[in-house]
Amino acid sequence: MTLSAWIERIAALRSGPEIVLGLERVRPVFDTLGTYPRCPVFLVGGTNGKGSTVAFLDAILRAQGYRTARYTSPHLARFNERVVIGGREVGDDALLQAFERVEAARQAAGGPALSFFEYTTLAAFSCFAEAQLDAWVIEVGMGGRLDATNVLDADCAIITTIGLDHTEWLGRTREDIAREKAGILRAERPAVIGEPDPPATLRQAVDAQGATARWIGRDFGWQRSPETPSQWRYWRRGTDGAICSRHGLPLPTLRGRFQLDNAAVALAALDAVSDRLPVSAGAIRSGLVGVDWPGRFQVLPGQPVTVLDVAHNPHAARVLAEALGEMPFFPCTHAVFSMLADKNITEVVRIVAPRIDHWHVAALTGARAAPLDRLLDALVAAGVPERAIDRYPSIEAALRGARAAAGLADRIAVFGSFLTVSAAHAVPAVSE
């Protein structure tokens, strides 16, 4: 069976909702598989910044010479992007063997109807368990407490930010969502919190879990160098209260000031396990300049400048708007835009609209896609004039329309969903 056929089979395994939380299905299969890690595990949760933090950790550890596993979701172009060992995507054959092992374990565990994410997460862990690794770096899918990745006991749990997203499943307030995110914490193990304004429920959960927490702004943080704008300083507070610093760090290749938050979180996590995975200053510098993470304020080469960003909730939209504002002047900014129906479309549009001059809009495909009329209603509610909106049958057509309308000195921003960026990513560049 081919990889695409296996993926279709897995997707059809469970009828009903696409998103299903809970560990009661995945845990017995995980235990039957016996794919327990034999090295330190980083479990990275939060609303935004998870993937970038995973990328920083993976890049720095590999620069030190460690052999790592990296698991993220969703993917942009190929399923294999989710499962990476030593910086390389796991091949189809290895994934097929992992799926077969998961299926055998599922049948042995009584045949629970796993969700797509549960099944593929177990397959990734099976691939990792077959390899000789020094660290697993795992991105939490949704929430934390009931996410399939939480079958692992993290040696270091990370919570990047707390924002309003997936509210149908995680709760309507930041306080509710924080409780769910905190479910990945473990007693007497390090926890790194990258949320600068943590809800009281997150602090309460840290205390209840008995985790050893390090908080951004209190226990660690960063500062740009006033003398050398291309450098920054990471600082942390030692057990004796003294401040320790790493000076002269290069700016990450991932663009945007917000990426320094993610880089500092990654460094704090590495400090937390330095007795098991020490890293040198050289590895940190190499990792920062060598990290690559498509779709996160990714600026494509060529003209007009094209920015791809998977921002799909209000917190991420603010970060995107800020990053667009930090770029040099462009005469006109075109947006290629679409979102899923379960997102806060109106608020995302309201936040980004001041940075956009012309909108190229299309509906995504799939059951969760927002209809075109709803996207247009959000634009109108944000005060976008009719003359600044073009409609298209697909994201691919919208990107081609934006390229045709934009001058060489202009800018195109593609955002609103992983699916929006994925569809745009598949459109060949003009030079091709």
pLDDT at 366: 86
pLDDT at 77: 87
State which residues form the domain around 338. Answer: 298-425
CB under 8 Å to 116, separation ≥6 — which residues?
10, 11, 13, 14, 18
User: Do 303 and 285 belong to one domain?
Assistant: no
Total of domains in the chain? 2
Mean pLDDT for the stretch of residues 109-133: 95
For the ranges 121-135, 166-180, 246-260, 388-402, the lowest mean pLDDT is seen at 166-180
User: Do 12 and 74 belong to one domain?
Assistant: yes
With a cut of 50, say whether residue 61 has pLDDT above it.
Answer: yes
- Report the Cα 250 to chain-centroid distance in Å: 22
Residue with tokens 């209260």, as numbered in its chain = 241
- Whether 413 is covered by a domain: the verdict is yes
With a cut of 60, say whether residue 184 has pLDDT above it.
Answer: yes
User: Do 55 and 92 belong to one domain?
Assistant: yes
Confidence of residue 432 (pLDDT cuts 50, 70, 90): very low
Mean pLDDT for the stretch of residues 119-144: 95
Mean pLDDT for the stretch of residues 382-393: 96
Confidence of residue 110 (pLDDT cuts 50, 70, 90): very high
Among 290, 314, 340, give the residue marking a domain's end: 290
User: Do 193 and 71 belong to one domain?
Assistant: yes
C-alpha span between 254 and 51 (Å, rounded): 12
Residue 175 sits in a domain whose CATH number is 3.40.1190.10
Mean pLDDT for the stretch of residues 86-108: 97
Mean pLDDT for the stretch of residues 329-335: 97
Among 269, 290, 311, give the residue marking a domain's end: 290
CB under 8 Å to 89, separation ≥6 — which residues?
78, 80, 81, 83
User: Do 72 and 113 belong to one domain?
Assistant: yes
Q: What would the DSSP string read from start to end of 157-179?
A: EEE----S-SHHHH-SSHHHHHH
Among 230, 257, 290, give the residue marking a domain's end: 290
User: Do 77 and 58 belong to one domain?
Assistant: yes
Residue 319 sits in a domain whose CATH number is 3.90.190.20
Mean pLDDT for the stretch of residues 125-146: 94
C-alpha span between 141 and 56 (Å, rounded): 18
- Whether 430 is covered by a domain: the verdict is no
pLDDT at 143: 85
> What 8-state DSSP symbol labels residue 142?
S
Confidence of residue 367 (pLDDT cuts 50, 70, 90): confident
C-alpha span between 398 and 375 (Å, rounded): 14
8 Å CB contact between 284 and 245: no
8 Å CB contact between 43 and 279: no
User: Do 18 and 154 belong to one domain?
Assistant: yes
With a cut of 50, say whether residue 1 has pLDDT above it.
Answer: yes
Torsion of the alpha carbons at 196, 200, 205 and 206, rounded to the nearest 10: 40
User: Do 263 and 374 belong to one domain?
Assistant: no
Query: 370: buried, middle or exposed (CB in 10 Å: 19+, 13-18, 0-12)?
Result: buried
**In residues, how long is the chain?**
432
User: Do 385 and 269 belong to one domain?
Assistant: no
Convert the pLDDT of each residue in 7-51 to its tens digit: 999 988 876 666 777 889 999 999 999 999 999 999 999 988 999
Q: Whole-structure pTM over 0.85, yes or no? A: yes
User: Do 125 and 94 belong to one domain?
Assistant: yes
Question: 337 pairs with which residues across the strands?
Answer: 361, 415
